[in-house]
Amino acid sequence: MCKGVIAMLNIAKVRGRMAELNISQKDVAKALGIAAPTASQKLNRVRPMDLDEAEKLAALLKLEDNQFGEYFFAQ
């Protein structure tokens, strides 16, 4: 897998989708294989999220391929 960095995570869209699906930061951490504080930092753009992590998060959020850009490349 590519380890490119996703610099512009759309925090509002990701958190909104998490709320819709009742997904916690702890769930995100488990899906990404990282600690909960690290997941929080990634979700708040304190730490970068790589492409592999973004793909895992997209799967957890049940996003369609055509939705990936609006969640992971904020404008």
The residue ranking higher by pLDDT, 4 or 52, is 52
Per-residue confidence (pLDDT) for residue 72, from 0 to 100: 87
Distance of CA 31 to the CA centre of its chain: 10
The confidence score (pLDDT) of residue 4 equals 62
| Placement of tokens 């490349």 in the chain | 73
Give 35 or 2, the one with higher predicted confidence: 35
Q: CA–CA separation, 18 vs 58, rounded Å? A: 11
pTM: 0.87
Q: pLDDT tens across 13-57, in order?
A: 999 999 999 999 999 999 999 999 999 999 998 998 998 999 999
- Residue 3 token pair: 């380890």
Place domain 5-68 in its CATH homologous superfamily.
Answer: lambda repressor-like DNA-binding domains (1.10.260.40)
**What's the CA gap between 72 and 7, in Å, rounded?**
8
